[in-house]
Structure 1
Amino acid sequence: MTDIDPKLAAATDARTAPVAVWKVLSELKGDALKDWRVAEVHNRPSAEERGIDLPFPLGWFALGYSDELKVGEAVPLRYFGRELVMWRGEDGKPRVLDAYCRHLGAHLGYGGRVSGNLIECPFHAWRYDGEGVVREIPYSSSIPPQVKRPCAHQWVVEEANGFIWTWYHPHGEAPRWELDHYPEASDPAWTDYQRHEWFVYGPLQSMAENGVDNAHFQFVHGTAGFPDAEIKWDGQRRSGIVSAKMGTPAGEVDGRIVNGQNGPGQAYTRFEGISETLLVAAITPIDKDRVHARFAFTQPRTQAEGPGAGLARALIRDICKQFDQDKVIWDRQAYLHDAIICAGDGPIMKYRRYYQQFYAEQSPSPARAAG
């Protein structure tokens, strides 16, 4: 643990509330807090003013929870700066296409309906399969040859861990790695997901860097000190173990946070020390300066429904509170390619170099760490 001035440590103890961002959230409770998490931030600076010029990273990204899309249902989506339509055919499989009909440009997600395993345009009932091939035009004796071919951009779709995922690559290339599967997500001994969501107005990379920013845990989240972190890098994977003191009504306890990511869009965190918890974090970019974050929590039923239920619920509330605190900063944070890093910050620049592998499009190289 890094040595800290005792007066500074006391001023930022987790059992007190001096941290500046907490004041923004102090009056938000219940539904008001939930509304704030997904509300438009109207007075934020533009992406251009904030230097947000990063491409969308490639990888697996969540489009929604599996149980939110029923058989025979079609829904509009916007991710990766594109309008999309997602539907579940009679065979139970989810499919995704770019949303605009190749005929006269109607949006398939608004008024479109499922016909068997096809999506039907609300304008003239052209029917597409999951590759974007027009299979039926009910009023015509022929199908134009241009729409008998699959769309150039293919959306690979899979279901895992209670989510619907798609592989994103700006040039439509095939997946480079497989999704991770978490056994707790389908284990009857663990609870159904407790779900929380946010819209964050910043680039996904800035949010991801947070996990290796050791110093912010004290100054944003009020931990009693800077956490000890062990981080490993392996191809598209990153894993880490963070040890930190956690404040509770009974005093501080030693906590451990084991986290990992499989590319930029699929991540997990396991919390140990207070109440065992798995957090599945599904983070998907909407536009260059807007991200959809979904947190799905599951816990052992013996803890969540037993004598320790109150503590288990409190842990989830605290994790979400920390994300709220980060969001206050992320929503207006500039992105600095030439960020100046000092001793104690953590491996932020190493993380930026790791993250470069997820940009198929040109992205400025991260600056070297100072010192």
Structure 2
Amino acid sequence: MSRYPFPIPYGWFQVCTPEEVAGASAKALFYFDRHLVAWRDEPGELHVMDAFCPHLGAHLGHGGTVEGCEIQCPFHGWRFDGDGTNVDIPYSSRTNQRARIRTYPTLEVNGKSLVWFHPDPEVGPRWDVPALPELDSGEFVGPVRTRHTVMAHAQELGENAVDAAHFRYVHNTAEVPEITSYETDGPMADMRSVQRFPTPRGVVDGKIESLGYGPGVSIVRFSGIVDTLLVTSTTPIDEGSCETRFDFYTRSLGDSETTSNVAQAFVAEVDRQFLEDMPVWEHKAHLTRPALADTDGPFMAFRKWYHQFYAEADGPGAGDERTLFPPPHWPEKMAETPARATASARHGRG
């Protein structure tokens, strides 16, 4: 039985950073429940394709080398160009035009290397992720990066964004964010909220503006304590797990040490809250018809928006009439560690 009633979504997803595939090099990856290879040709263009050589199945990310604008298989030296076409067999005078490898469109923007994934290789990108002017203005410094793997579907993590009430019980915050607007337009989702941040100098009124570009990339702007730009990515590893990457940029406060200290404190707090959410995501069931309170966030509006990114009508949950999809039983995850214990447990409410 499938854990979730939906498949892997399509869209732009981060698979690495530009620095992780630098120079004329190749890197093995695993996302979207498939083996991939990322490689950068000598002019500097990033390529991502299925990993296995169609000759005899060698993994191009393990020992493959880049020569000019081609990647060479480590097993028999077959070469492929950026379109996945076989362009050379060193011990033959002919190439094999049937030996094609699926390639994926790439986009490198805002410090992230993105791949367009769709289960149908004929469906190309349907929207763009724009470059952020703040990152070129010199007003913001960074990034400070964090990265986590979560044993849950990417949609479960996304639902957290519209769930203001959990901040009080999972993160023990005295003030709960108030969602002031939630609007969608095709692949874009725009959410605004306000929150009061307690500080040693008193409570500071803050604003949070979150703009999602499909299911894989969000731009979050925090104002109040210090202006912070958070570029987030959530990438499916397979149908039951995903990877998140947070890149934090902080508006310069004039002094590099002060800016760094404030930024590190803010990052530590956001990362702490993320770790508190992880045991909830990994052990919760997915309910197709949740019993919501009248003051809960726009859950169903979010799900309706997210559902458009499922292309497969015969996905893992198709035809399944269950309304509750429980997680696997993971005995090794039953014992909470201090870093991942929820605030409710730490404060005696669960």
Provide the C-alpha distance between the structure 1 equivalents of 2:259 and 2:238, rounded to a whole number of angstroms.
41
Counterpart code for 2:117: Y
Provide the C-alpha distance between the structure 1 equivalents of 2:31 and 2:97, rounded to a whole number of angstroms.
29
Provide the C-alpha distance between the structure 2 equivalents of 1:221 and 1:81, rounded to a whole number of angstroms.
32
1:221 has 2:171 as partner: yes
Provide the C-alpha distance between the structure 1 equivalents of 2:71 and 2:218, rounded to a whole number of angstroms.
31
User: Structure 1 residues 67 and 304, CA, compared in 2 at 3 Å: closer, same or farther?
Assistant: farther
Provide the C-alpha distance between the structure 2 equivalents of 1:80 and 1:305, rounded to a whole number of angstroms.
40
Counterpart code for 2:112: F
User: Structure 1 residues 252 and 189, CA, compared in 2 at 3 Å: closer, same or farther?
Assistant: closer
| Partner in structure 2 of residue 160 of structure 1 | 109
Question: Larger deviation: 192-201 or 311-320?
Answer: 311-320
| Partner in structure 2 of residue 52 of structure 1 | 4
| Partner in structure 1 of residue 91 of structure 2 | 139
Counterpart code for 1:301: S
| Partner in structure 2 of residue 253 of structure 1 | 204
Structure 1, unaligned stretches of length 5 or more? 1-46
2:98 alignment partner, SS class: helix
Provide the C-alpha distance between the structure 2 equivalents of 1:111 and 1:195, rounded to a whole number of angstroms.
28
User: Structure 1 residues 179 and 221, CA, compared in 2 at 3 Å: closer, same or farther?
Assistant: same
Q: How does 1:193-212 map to 2 (within 5 A)?
A: 193-212=143-162
Structure 1 residue 251 displacement after superposition: 3.2
Coordinate RMSD, CA, aligned: 2.1
Provide the C-alpha distance between the structure 1 equivalents of 2:164 and 2:302, rounded to a whole number of angstroms.
12
Counterpart code for 1:101: C
What whole-Å deviation, never above 9, does each CA across 1:22-74 have from its counterpart, x for those lacking one? xxxxxxxxxxxxxxxxxxxxxxxxx84xx324211111011111122111110
1:331 alignment partner, SS class: helix
| Partner in structure 2 of residue 123 of structure 1 | 75
Among 160, 174, 179, the residue aligned to 2:124: 174
Among 355, 363, 371, the residue aligned to 2:306: 355
Provide the C-alpha distance between the structure 2 equivalents of 1:308 and 1:297, rounded to a whole number of angstroms.
12
Counterpart code for 1:340: A
Contact 1:184 1:298 in 2 (8 A): no
User: Structure 1 residues 342 and 304, CA, compared in 2 at 3 Å: closer, same or farther?
Assistant: farther
What whole-Å deviation, never above 9, does each CA across 1:280-325 have from its counterpart, x for those lacking one? 0011111111111110011123357254543332112111111111
Structure 1 residue 154 displacement after superposition: 3.4
1:191 alignment partner, SS class: strand
| Partner in structure 2 of residue 191 of structure 1 | 141
Structure 1 residue 145 displacement after superposition: 3.4
Provide the C-alpha distance between the structure 1 equivalents of 2:255 and 2:164, rounded to a whole number of angstroms.
30
Contact 1:223 1:246 in 2 (8 A): no
Contact 2:39 2:66 in 1 (8 A): yes
Structure 2, unaligned stretches of length 5 or more? 324-350
User: Structure 1 residues 54 and 351, CA, compared in 2 at 3 Å: closer, same or farther?
Assistant: same
Provide the C-alpha distance between the structure 2 equivalents of 1:145 and 1:87, rounded to a whole number of angstroms.
21
1:96 has 2:48 as partner: yes
Provide the C-alpha distance between the structure 2 equivalents of 1:258 and 1:200, rounded to a whole number of angstroms.
24
Tell me the TM-score normalized by structure 1. Answer: 0.81
Provide the C-alpha distance between the structure 1 equivalents of 2:239 and 2:131, rounded to a whole number of angstroms.
28
Counterpart code for 1:275: V
1:325 alignment partner, SS class: helix
What whole-Å deviation, never above 9, does each CA across 1:221-267 have from its counterpart, x for those lacking one? 22224322121111111111111222223332212111110100110
Count of paired positions: 317
| Partner in structure 2 of residue 34 of structure 1 | none
Structure 1 residue 122 displacement after superposition: 0.7
1:358 alignment partner, SS class: coil
Provide the C-alpha distance between the structure 2 equivalents of 1:192 and 1:347, rounded to a whole number of angstroms.
32
1:243 alignment partner, SS class: strand
Which structure carries more strand by proportion? 2
Q: How does 1:1-371 map to 2 (within 5 A)?
A: 48=2, 51-147=3-99, 150-151=100-101, 153-172=102-121, 173-229=123-179, 230-302=181-253, 305=256, 307=258, 309-362=260-313
Contact 1:80 1:286 in 2 (8 A): yes
Counterpart code for 1:157: T
Structure 1 residue 93 displacement after superposition: 0.2
